[in-house]
Amino acid sequence: MEKINDIKIKTALEVLNSHDDSKLISHLNSCVHCGLCAKTCLYYLTIGDERFIPARKVELVSSIYRRYFTVMGKVLPALVSARKLDDKMIEEMVDLLYGGCVMCGRCVRHCSIGVDIEYVVRKGREMLAKMGYVPESLQSTVKAALETGNNMGISYEDFVDTIEWMEEELQEECNDPEARIPLNEPGKNVLYTLNPREPKFFPLSISAMAKVFYLAKESWTLSTNMYDVTNYAYFSSHPGEAKAIAQRMYDEMQNMKSGRLVLAECGHGVRSNRWEAPNYIEKGFFFEALTSVELIAEYIRKGRIRPDRERMKDAVTLHDPCNLARGSGIVEEQRYILKNCVSNFVEMTPHGTDNFCCGGGGGQLAMSEYNDRRLKIAELKVRQIRKTGAAIVVTPCHNCIDQLTQINVTYNLNIQIKTLAEIVADSLPVLKE
């Protein structure tokens, strides 16, 4: 790791010195050390090491704050547990803030006084990002997005070729040679987005959502220019890079003259595009941003699509992506959809806003450095899934899907894992006109 120097320290401290972030300062100074957060954290519950207790992660950041911004911290640092920002501190921060937190926010929900621990972790990550300490594998994904327009570096030709292929699948499925996946058509109601792993490796969710749009008779389009729903700079927490990516989506909404930005099944994509983006780019949206989950629920409610729940008789359970349920308040819509699309829906315990992360959140899936921890903390999710006895786990997040796919093999779960669009598409009969 590159040694710390005065310039780096100065840049990092600017994050804590910000006069317009009174929230950060009050949350850094409010922890009462009650310890309730310990037993809400995946890392502490499965690994058992006290370093992983969420309050300890807050303490890392607040001890730096005390050292440089309080009189006692400057004069008698040992007395108030104020710590210098040095190489040892950096090592600890990288290990615990990047490598020891899925940013699931479960601790925040259980905090006795409401400290936004996840926010403090993000600010700690921001300090590290500004000093250039983002783990290499995470930064490589951010870099791909910044340089190529999508986080997997997919070329224009490859993208179009894949979409045309999925359009053929759609036509076959709907028995209609006119069924289409529109590309770059301005003035449509909906600009739809994708997680790049869909075109790259798992395109069935594209044709599934296209089938939903087709049957709902939606006016929609994809844009080849900007379709990537992810913003990995949300995870690295580099504000400038997060802003650059968020700005692209905003600009594309202007180019395409769409009224509704529909965010694909991607937890952090929803969080970063819908809630964080206006902060990153420092302006409000002139359009409506919503998730495909809410849109599908709307279609069912209005009778625009008519699922047949008898088609799926296997027991189906739901994994709530943290950024969707806890982070965005979308809890009932996915349940409403599933209850309409499958005949045997079983809940995990706990679920909804108290659900456990799959273990792949917070950028963990991209960070090879902490792979062993990621598989270890998944033990809780494995136990939850086993208890339901479900054959199929549905989750509206491609990141969760990849983590679940891996733990399915690692822990011999013997389940199928599907996106919500896939399960909905399977439940929709195609009626001949």
Partner 1 sequence: MPTIEIEEKVFEVDGNGFLTHPEIWDEEVARLIAKYDGINELTDQHWAVINIIRKNYEEKGMAPMIRQICKSAGLKLRQIYELFPLGPARGACRVAGLPKPDGCV
Quick one: which segment of 34-42, 45-53, 199-207, 348-356 binds partner 1 (CB under 8 A)?
A: 199-207
Residue among 367, 382, 413, 425 that touches partner 1 (CB under 8 A): 367
- Stretches 180-188, 196-204, 292-300, 420-428: which one binds partner 1 (CB under 8 A)? 196-204
- DSSP letters, 289-306, are EEEHHHHHHHHHHTTSS-
Binder to partner 1 among 21, 25, 110, 153 (CB under 8 A)? Answer: 153
CB 124 within 8 A of CB 60: yes
- β-bridge partners, 263: 291
Do 100 and 51 touch, CB atoms closer than 8 A?
yes
- Which span sits near partner 1 by CB under 8 A: 53-61, 88-96, 193-201, 247-255? 193-201
Using rule CB under 8 A, residue 358 touches partner 1: no
- The answer to whether residue 407 forms part of the interface with partner 1 (CB under 8 A) is no
Q: Does 405 bind partner 1 (CB under 8 A)?
A: yes
Give the amino acid at 333.
E
User: Does 77 contact partner 1 by CB under 8 A?
Assistant: no
At residue 271, the 3 state secondary structure works out as helix
Q: Distances from the Cα of 324 to the Cαs of 140, 293, 352, 374, in angstroms?
A: 25, 10, 9, 20
Q: Of the listed pieces 155-163, 183-191, 350-358, 382-390, which binds partner 1 according to CB under 8 A?
A: 155-163
Q: In this structure, what DSSP letter does residue 220 have?
A: E
Position among 124, 182, 196, 396 found at the interface with partner 1 (CB under 8 A)? 196
Task: Point out which span in 122-130, 133-141, 239-247, 290-298 binds partner 1 (CB under 8 A).
Answer: 133-141
> H or E element: which one contains 155?
none
* DSSP bridge partners of 290: 262
Query: Within 10 A of 164 (CB to CB), how many other CB atoms are there?
Result: 11
Does 416 bind partner 1 (CB under 8 A)? Our answer is no
Pick from 96, 365, 378, 415 the residue near partner 1 by CB under 8 A: 365
Site string for partner 1, 230-269 (x = CB under 8 A): x-----------------------------------x---
Other Cβ atoms within 10 Å of 310 Cβ, number: 9
Query: Which has the closest alpha carbon to 219: 177, 250, 182, 267?
Result: 182
Least gap, CB of 320 to partner 1 (angstroms) = 17
